[in-house]
Amino acid sequence: MTTAKKPSSRTRRRKVSAQDVLEYMGPEYGPVEWHSRYTPAEELVYTILSQHTSDLNSGRAFNNLMKTFGTIEGVADASAEDIEEAIRRGGLARQKAPRIKQVLAQIRDEIGGFDLSFLAEMPLEEAKAWLKRLNGIGPKTAAIILCFSLGMPAMPVDTHIYRVSQRLGLIGPKVNAEKAHDILEPMVAPEDVFPFHMYLIRHGRQVCKAQRPRCGECLMGWGCPTKPKMERAAVADARKKAKRKPAAKKRKAS
């Protein structure tokens, strides 16, 4: 990891802002390039498959689903049992198959097909509201579809973004993940929403990990309000381990 530019004494005294995230993390994790990987309906199905499972398994399940039925229309026409069979390797297939079947049926009932590209023509809030009316679609899934498939300035908040934002003090400790979408998204200009999202994810994966964040090498350490607490916890952890070692050695010797 490269070292961030040295903060001035002024930055050391103030709270971290979303603009700081862009400014400090941009050179580290950028540039990021947006490209649409799936159609909105495919993205929706992929997002259902990605819940509570790894990217690897959800990717395999999605690929197998599309290989089996060919198109989203084919998936919608299949029985829940056949969908379940096709997505088995992704985990939780019994719960996810009927959800996929149901939401696709709902979309077809409403618009007579699966072309959701009209959402890109709507104001962002309207597009979100349209998606959130669908069964089982919450703010995160709606934001994923609008952001990743249609390139709209929606901010999906995953577990990494939620954790890093809280630790940096961008959102309060009592803000839940659903509310975090509405708070974080307007913090930056629309054209910066996607990089803001990507930088926070990368930071959460590489540095501000759930267990043992690497505060010592964090480029936001100058203003992170959680850093002192994390460092105290790391010291206490190291002391505990050091105490355990001689006891373990003694046991071995006897």
The 213-252 contact track toward ligand SF4, x by CB under 6 A, reads: xxx--x-xx--x-xx--x----------------------
Long-range contacts of 217-221 (CB under 8 A, 24+ apart): 217/1, 219/1, 219/3, 219/4, 219/24, 219/25, 219/28, 220/4, 220/16, 220/20, 220/21, 220/24, 220/25, 220/168
E strands of the chain, at which residues? Answer: none
Question: What 3-state DSSP class applies to 16?
Answer: coil
Return the residues of window 117-156 that contact ligand SF4 according to CB under 6 A.
Answer: none
- Residue 58: partners with Cβ closer than 8 Å, 6 or more residues away: 46, 49, 50, 90
Nearest distance from C-beta of residue 194 to ligand SF4, angstroms:
21
DSSP 3-state assignment of 8?
Answer: coil
Taking the C-alpha atoms of residue 168 and residue 34, their distance in angstroms, rounded to an integer, is 25
Task: Kindly tell me which of 122 and 175 has the beta carbon lying closer to ligand SF4.
Answer: 175
Q: Which is nearer to ligand SF4, 45 or 164 (CB)?
A: 164
The distance of closest approach from Cβ of residue 30 to ligand SF4 in the complex, given in angstroms and rounded to an integer, is 17
Q: Pick the closer one to ligand SF4 by CB: 1 or 111.
A: 1
The interface region with ligand SF4, picked from 48-56, 143-151, 211-219, 238-246 by CB under 6 A, is 211-219
CB of 157: closest distance to ligand SF4 in angstroms? Answer: 16
Residue with tokens 């089996």: 68
Q: Does 40 bind ligand SF4 (CB under 6 A)?
A: no
Which residues sit at the interface with ligand SF4, rule CB under 6 A? 164, 167-168, 207-208, 213-215, 218, 220-221, 224, 226-227, 230
